[in-house]
Amino acid sequence: MAQRRYIDAEPLLKLAFETLQRVLGKDHPNSIQSVNNLAALYISQRRYEEAQPLLKSALEACERVLGREHPQTLLTVNNLGELYRGQGRYDEAKPLLKRALEARERVLGKQHPDTLDSAKNLEELYRADGR
């Protein structure tokens, strides 16, 4: 999505999402990742109302299937926090982004790219919130 070819990406992401859900089931890690991918596209387009239910269902599935500190779960927590930050819902975003950062530091280490991404996201939240 670096080229911003959203029109091309969306039908492919939807097809992957629908196919994986049907073939592997909604709780399979690949199906959950496809939900995250589609939601990330919607977030990048500021289509928050479409992304939110996807991320909430993905988070529930991740926590149930993979556990609260699995990297995929933490990606979903981070993405939901980013969605709320994008909507200006800072009080809802903060605990999610803090959770993602703290858990990623424990699980992945302080220098891991995903941990650094979480730190950047939390910093952007604080900046947007005027802190």
In the predicted model, is pLDDT for residue 51 greater than 90?
yes
Q: Under DSSP, is residue 109 helix (H, G, I), strand (E, B) or coil? A: coil
Query: Tokens standing for 22?
Result: 């049907």
Residue 109 confidence class, pLDDT cut points 50, 70, 90: very high
Closest CA to 9 of 51, 38, 43, 50: 38
Lowest-pLDDT range of 2-11, 18-27, 41-50, 90-99: 2-11
In this prediction, residue 4 carries a pLDDT of 67
Residue 129 confidence class, pLDDT cut points 50, 70, 90: confident
In the predicted model, is pLDDT for residue 120 greater than 50?
yes
pLDDT for 13-39, tens place per residue? 999 999 999 999 989 999 999 999 999
User: pTM score, two decimals?
Assistant: 0.88
Cα separation, 77 vs 30, in Å, equals 17
Cα separation, 77 vs 70, in Å, equals 11
How confident is the model over 75-84, as a mean pLDDT? 95
Domains delineated in the chain: 6-128 (1.25.40.10)
- Is residue 80 within 8 A of residue 74, CB to CB? The reply is no
